[in-house]
Amino acid sequence: MNRARRQLLGCVLVAVVLFLLYRRRQSGADVNVPPPVTPEAPEIPAPENPEEHPHDETKPPYLWRDLPLRFPPTVIELLPEGSPRDLPGLQAGSEHVSRITLWHQQSRKAAVKEAFQRCWKSYKNLAWQTDELAPLSGLPQNGLGGWGTTLVDNLDTLWIMGMHDEFNEAVEAVTQIRYEDTQSPEINTHETNTRHLGGLLAAYDLSGDRRLLDKAVHVGDMLYAAFDTPNRMPITHWDSHRAERQEEQLAEEATSPSEVSSFVLEFTRLSQITGDQRYSNAAHQVMVRLQLAQDMSKLPGMWPVVLNTRANMADSDKFTMGPEADSLYKSLPKAYALLGGRLSMYRTMYEKATRTVASHSLFRPMNAQGKDILVPGSVQVTMTQNGKPRTHLEPQVHHRACFAGGMFAVGGALFNIPIHRKIANKLVDGCIWASQAMPMGIMPEVYEAVPCASQTSCPWNEWHWKQEVWKKENTVNPDPSLDADAFIRDHRIPRGFIAIPDTRYNLRPDTIESIFMLYRVTGREDLLDTAWEMFETIQNATRVENGNAGLVDVTDDQGETGHTDLMESYWMAQTLKYFYLIFSTPDILSLDDYVFNSAGHPFKLPRLAEMEKAFELQ
């Protein structure tokens, strides 16, 4: 071969090598590189196998992404740049857990998994690809959009429990969901966000299955359309059909802070994974408004139970840690961690909120056992004649407010606030007390207790308790001749409680969630036995032929009032998941590596994601 030919061949080989390197770089580009600061959305590639994603030919495959916005954001604020801060470790060291203790938990973990498998089998056989199963009648229910909520909500639980065959089958079913299609006249965007988008993102973070990310982008785009209002505040009870027709959308005049704030974790994580910062920007702007409302409310530091998001007003006079606000409060330390500690506003919001909560909402209930415990009540604010606010504690406690113990445990460790660990222990012990005091050993949806006059000394007073029961009943049904002893007996009111407005138990996870969080942060081994006793009690009381069903009355230890015909998706996705995790080794979904959204779905923290990426590049 002459010299000219060798030179020509060499040039060709160099060109081929450079071309291949260019293609490799393009195909392996970092998905977290932020796009230009512009409201336009970046292109998202179509699924690799379109045959796996059947759809209505009359509708485009990316309906919500292609839908023009009536009120686009004027600017896209990027996620904070730079490396994540070196945040404090949240979990107690594994050396605090003995081998004997870990060995003892294996049979408990297996029992929880067996309960899950039994419920999953019933759902698959009787309600597959529908929202939820009615376990008494054996009928499917579609009250959450008809998109298979139980299916999506439990993807990560299947993976965590090592049920990979069932997981793969579920993923195949999820690829068939058409989020563009729903018969529901109204969509609860809060539930869709936390259960569907949260479930898809967590399952993707755990498995790396690209199909789940594709579906998460679809859901994210749909929910993003609910922000298309004049002030960019999301509609929480949303008519997607009106939005599809590009009719006017307005933020609501009455919604809860829990619902309107719930997007911050899911939208942030979606932006971190895809690089599309429209999502995180939309959620962040809502939180900026909520930060302003926090200072302007009638009880600065807390948010009222009702917000007027259309007028950006927070002038309601009732405050609670219950269902109207739980997701907002618990998201604050988690958002700080998910953003790698690079956005201080979430720490500021958490510290302001917890100061007010500790001063006004938390109270010590008088109890016959003399336990030094705390529970979260509600606060009513009235204005005096001179225009100053006056607060009044309403000692009504919601089961859903039991998240507070876990929040104080995580926030106290993350922000190094020692008093919060003490508060966390008292709050968790308070929810355990409220459960164990009931005739069935299960906490009701709502109860009222006798507040102690002092948090340092609170001796039991039988007469005072009965007087408070008498007074409470007379405010509802005036009867000066009421016999308190007979009323307590007939209504099965435990000592220390003055009323139980809602006697149901709806398979809720909040108590075991906080027990799990506190155990992981402190290593308190007595919580393991408490959790096991709680699991056995709930399982024995709620187990029915086709799964588990809620209870009508937790004060009825004879079981005469029966069950409610609904197995909420969160029974498996949260309640059983937290029971399973507390009996697992502490390295499984470490709180140093993951944050759990309000529906119990774990998202990778930036530090873990960067470590995994560095390992893959080696």
Q: Which residues of the chain have pLDDT under 70?
A: 1-62, 93-100, 609-618
Of the candidates 107, 182, 106, the residue with the CA atom closest to the CA atom of residue 145: 182
- Quick check: is 332 in a domain? yes
- Quick check: is 15 in a domain? no
Instruction: Name the residue range of residue 206's domain.
Output: 65-617
Model pLDDT, residue 103: 78
DSSP state of 219: H
- In angstroms, the Cα distances linking 568 to 141, 299, 509 are 10, 34, 11
Beta strands in 185-314 (DSSP E): 187-188, 237-238
Of the candidates 321, 403, 331, the residue with the CA atom closest to the CA atom of residue 363: 321
Please name the residue ranges forming H helices in 275-369.
278-296, 326-338, 345-356
Annotated binding residues: 598
- Quick check: is 14 in a domain? no
Which residues partner with 255 through β-bridges?
A: 307
Annotated binding residues for Ca(2+): 598
Q: 334: domain CATH number?
A: 1.50.10.10
- 529's torsion region: left (phi>0), alpha (psi -120 to 50) or beta? alpha
Structural domains of the chain, count? 1
Are 421 and 411 in contact by the 8 Å Cβ rule? The answer is no
Model pLDDT, residue 181: 86
- Quick check: is 158 in a domain? yes
- Per-residue pLDDT tens for 88-136? 999 986 656 666 677 789 999 999 999 999 999 999 999 999 999 999 9
- Quick check: is 60 in a domain? no
Degrees to nearest 5, angle at CA 136 with 132 and 137: 80
- Quick check: is 383 in a domain? yes
What's the pTM value of the predicted model, to 2 decimals? 0.89
Model pLDDT, residue 609: 66
- Quick check: is 54 in a domain? no
Model pLDDT, residue 460: 96
- Quick check: is 25 in a domain? no
Degrees to nearest 5, angle at CA 608 with 607 and 612: 120
DSSP state of 422: H
Model pLDDT, residue 436: 97
Degrees to nearest 5, angle at CA 73 with 68 and 76: 120
